[in-house]
Structure 1
Amino acid sequence: MSKADRGRRYRLYATVEVEARLTAWGHTCRALWNMALHQRIYAYEQRGKTLNLASQGVHLTQARCELDWVADLAAQSAQQVVRHLDAAYANFWNPDHSAGFPSFKKRGRRLSVSFPGQAVSVRKLNRHWAEVRLPKLGWVKFRLSRAVGGTIRNATVSRDGNGWHISFGVHTGRKPDAPNGKPECGVDFGVAASAYVSTETTARRMPPTLTKSEKARLRFLEQRKARQITYAKKHAGGRYGNRLRKTIAQIAGLKTRQANRRADFTHKLTTDLAKNHGMIGIEDLRVKNMTKSAKGTIERPAAKVRQKAGLNRSILDNAPGERRRQLEYKCRMYGSKLAAVPAFHTSQTCAACGKVDPESRQGCGRMFSCVHCGHEDDADHNASIEIEARARRTGGSVTNSTRSTCTVRVPAQRGRRTREALPAAHG
């Protein structure tokens, strides 16, 4: 069976009864995931056995016979939880995959319920509306903002701060486009300038994801949430009341609005780059290292901790990792290549003479002035030209350095192990 190669996401409009049941199912899926993960860890630590999908499927059938709250969940969704956990383990043991060890899911995570493609069906009502049939729930309406455009292989119902959505994994059968033969470019992703393309004369800046009034509103809600949590701990035994839950929902709504605006800019940026260029050079950034905390230790406390925290938020708000992920699959779609080049000294290298000198970038300002040849340019534009030159030297090959051999923590084995030894240990 062909796999899904595209994703489709729509706003779901369910009744109050259906929403309540989906909420209960979401918590059930989270509990099943945690129990299945704990079972695998316990079986390995105490008995030296490795559980797989088939063995845990038998235990799941027994649980559905004994526990009413598990039996209430659609059988297909419960099986999907075990399948996803098995896939998470397979990704972890795969030395070519960057996934870490599967983690437990907290109650505050986004609720989601998954279904296999054969368990759902979709029918179109009119130009703007359609319905999806979900097991045990019947037909539920959703906004048909775009055509499904293929065969549905899986479906996931999830909730965020704006309500419920349904996502379909769709097989369209589209093949990668032939090389488009368009101009090459280098792109410097930053904070002050969200993206500076080497073939352009002005930077592309992401609009503020929150307005001034929304930022003030968010700050007020966060302060109110802190006071309400303190009150709950002192007078209600830590139990959340309706007012606190309402505050949390309002914060989630603002955060979701911010994430949607960020995603909108990111998709438009990456689609435009992939469509209009034959090769795109970017920096091979280590976002996790770039956004480490600067608080230091008790013996050696750091300085300017709050300034570094603000910089970290700005870096993450521009989502450099998500931009790279989108460029990887969109370049294949539109016939272009992606080259991730080392980011070392791109901001201190002169694009005209190639000399590296930190003095050319005085005070990390916005201007680059080479102390050797006198070349002057915007610092980000100069860096983008240098990135393009490095990408041409690599021939447009993607550098997957984030999946190199590393040391990882394996909770189930209480030790440290390198990726090179993982397949042998798994066997």
Structure 2
Amino acid sequence: MAFVKADMGRRYRLYPTVGQEETLTRWAHTCRALWNVALEQRCYLYRQRGITLMGTAQSKQLVQARAELEWMADLPSECGQRVLANLDAAYLNFWNPDHPAGFPSRKKRGHRTSVPFKGQRVRVRKLNRHWAEVRLPKLGWVRFRLSRALGGVIRNATVSRDGTGWHVSFGVHTGWKPGAPNGRPGCGVDFGVAASAFVSTEAGPRLMPPTLTKAEQARLKHLERKKARQLTYARKHNGGRYSNRMRRTIARITKLKTRQANRRADFTHKLTTDLAQNHGFVGIEDLRVKNMSASAKGTMDTPGKKVAQKSGLNRSILDNAPGERRRQLTYKCRLYGSKLIPVPAFQTSQTCANPVCGKVDPASRPGCGRIFRCVHCGWEDDADHNASVEIEARARRTGGLVTNSTRSAATARVPVQSRRRMREALSATRV
């Protein structure tokens, strides 16, 4: 049988027993420790001897470690192999000039709890219409909510925990192919802060509902203050060790934050799916979100101005998740027979969308307000809708070729060897 890779992901809510939950938590901490040790070993060998160590050599050392360390032997062998394989993938992404990933980072204790498994060792059986079980090595059968069909062959699985509970994610091979062009009209979309998304073919904006209610916001503020007091007490009297009461406070904060993230993700998925299904192409701005949300704090010598205001703007930008929307549109447009066309974002908010005008003038946006009023032809429209129409026009002209990109990184990036030395030097300073 030919090797096939996972091309789709499926995520379900997992319901382990108390004993299974303790075992998964213990395994997750072992995976985190293995990642950090393997990463530190690679950095040390490269700094001291210039040797690039990969997972093949570390797998042999893992066998010896499992024979000598009881806590390492408790972890299923394939989970350790998957951790090393994931570390190899992180290095390959870093070395790839076309991939935005940075140098692999160490995982803290508060990092997302997860345990990876190989698909060959995982079995799934359906119990009824809404429930199923997954068999994990050395753990047995664990129930999960069958919220959707798997729809393919399982290639890998990952058990993780967030603020709402445990989940199991399957990498599934479905054999899907890019959809044929749907032949529908295209559109331009302006992602903003005041208006979450304004589509050029629509009369009104699409607004993301508040991710937290007023009561939840007040609750989160109260818990954050409570955590700060408990942390101060721990540093003064407990040597920095967290009390059980403080851990419960952190768990409540995490639950609210996870609920907020889930609501944001729900709106994002519904928005991107609708755009990809109902349009022949989707034009968006080619934004560099990292630069847009950079801090204005400055340095000791040259302190920044309006730092608090810029911090609030950064939170609003990231809350709308423009990078995640682009990532989802990238694969959903291929799936539904559409096309994603990023266009230069330069002066889209200052360009008149009137086909007979098209002039650029900052005076057309007095005070950067919500109304666009062209000082040359008198065209008047909502500023975000005007920008979306301009984005659609640029998408039709370029046809997917991004020119004069606003991205700070050029196509020809820093050579791989220089990037490795630079990143590892920075990594060494953090130790």
Distance 1:20 1:125 in 2: 24
Once the two structures are TM-superposed, the CA of residue 398 in structure 1 deviates from its matched residue by: 6.8
Residue in structure 1 matched with residue 25 of structure 2 by the alignment: 23
Residues 343 and 400, structure 2, Cα contact 8 Å, conserved in 1: no
Residue in structure 2 matched with residue 421 of structure 1 by the alignment: none
Once the two structures are TM-superposed, the CA of residue 25 in structure 1 deviates from its matched residue by: 0.7
Q: What do the CA deviations read for 1:335-368 (whole angstroms, capped 9, x no partner)?
A: 0000011110000000011111000000111000
Distance 2:114 2:303 in 1: 41
Unaligned runs of 5+ in 2: none
Query: Counterpart of 2:333 in structure 1: which amino acid?
Result: C
Residue in structure 2 matched with residue 420 of structure 1 by the alignment: none
Q: What do the CA deviations read for 1:260-290 (whole angstroms, capped 9, x no partner)?
A: 0000000000000000000100001111101
Residue in structure 1 matched with residue 371 of structure 2 by the alignment: 367
1:414 paired to 2:425 = yes
Residues 273 and 280, structure 1, Cα contact 8 Å, conserved in 2: yes
Residue in structure 2 matched with residue 155 of structure 1 by the alignment: 157
Residue in structure 2 matched with residue 385 of structure 1 by the alignment: 389
Query: Counterpart of 2:380 in structure 1: which amino acid?
Result: E
Q: What do the CA deviations read for 1:73-100 (whole angstroms, capped 9, x no partner)?
A: 0111000000011111111112222221
1:48 paired to 2:50 = yes
Secondary structure at the aligned position of 1:414 is classed as helix
* TM-score for both structures, normalised by structure 2: 0.94
Residue in structure 1 matched with residue 362 of structure 2 by the alignment: 358
Distance 2:158 2:26 in 1: 15
Secondary structure at the aligned position of 1:153 is classed as strand
- Change over 3 Å in CA distance of 1:187–1:15 after alignment to 2: same
1:205-244 maps to which residues of 2 (within 5 A)? 205-244=207-246
Once the two structures are TM-superposed, the CA of residue 298 in structure 1 deviates from its matched residue by: 2.4
Residues 285 and 391, structure 2, Cα contact 8 Å, conserved in 1: yes
Distance 2:319 2:167 in 1: 23
Residues 337 and 397, structure 1, Cα contact 8 Å, conserved in 2: no
- Change over 3 Å in CA distance of 1:415–1:104 after alignment to 2: closer
1:394 paired to 2:398 = yes
- Change over 3 Å in CA distance of 1:89–1:308 after alignment to 2: same
Aligned residues: 416
- Change over 3 Å in CA distance of 1:397–1:337 after alignment to 2: farther
Could you tell which deviates more after superposition, 44-53 or 196-205? 44-53
Residues 103 and 423, structure 2, Cα contact 8 Å, conserved in 1: no
Residue in structure 1 matched with residue 60 of structure 2 by the alignment: 58
Secondary structure at the aligned position of 1:103 is classed as coil
Distance 2:89 2:420 in 1: 18
User: Which of 71, 74, 91 is equivalent to 1:89?
Assistant: 91
Q: What do the CA deviations read for 1:217-272 (whole angstroms, capped 9, x no partner)?
A: 10000000000000011111111111100000000000000000000000000000
Once the two structures are TM-superposed, the CA of residue 131 in structure 1 deviates from its matched residue by: 0.1
Distance 2:5 2:299 in 1: 48
Residue in structure 1 matched with residue 249 of structure 2 by the alignment: 247
- Change over 3 Å in CA distance of 1:226–1:409 after alignment to 2: farther
Residues 163 and 251, structure 2, Cα contact 8 Å, conserved in 1: yes
Distance 2:55 2:259 in 1: 38
Distance 1:51 1:176 in 2: 37
Residues 279 and 396, structure 1, Cα contact 8 Å, conserved in 2: no
Distance 1:192 1:96 in 2: 32
Q: What do the CA deviations read for 1:167-189 (whole angstroms, capped 9, x no partner)?
A: 00001111111000000100000
Residues 283 and 340, structure 2, Cα contact 8 Å, conserved in 1: yes
Residue in structure 1 matched with residue 130 of structure 2 by the alignment: 128
Secondary structure at the aligned position of 2:198 is classed as strand
Residues 150 and 171, structure 1, Cα contact 8 Å, conserved in 2: yes
Distance 1:234 1:291 in 2: 35
Distance 1:403 1:110 in 2: 32
Residue in structure 2 matched with residue 170 of structure 1 by the alignment: 172
Distance 2:421 2:217 in 1: 40
* TM-score for both structures, normalised by structure 1: 0.95
- Change over 3 Å in CA distance of 1:412–1:294 after alignment to 2: closer
Once the two structures are TM-superposed, the CA of residue 304 in structure 1 deviates from its matched residue by: 1.7
Instruction: Output the aligned Cα RMSD.
Output: 1.6
Distance 1:368 1:413 in 2: 48
Residues 409 and 415, structure 1, Cα contact 8 Å, conserved in 2: no
Query: Counterpart of 2:398 in structure 1: which amino acid?
Result: T
Distance 2:126 2:152 in 1: 14
Residues 188 and 388, structure 2, Cα contact 8 Å, conserved in 1: yes
Unaligned runs of 5+ in 1: 417-427
Once the two structures are TM-superposed, the CA of residue 299 in structure 1 deviates from its matched residue by: 2.5
Residues 274 and 336, structure 1, Cα contact 8 Å, conserved in 2: yes
Distance 2:42 2:122 in 1: 30
Once the two structures are TM-superposed, the CA of residue 397 in structure 1 deviates from its matched residue by: 4.7
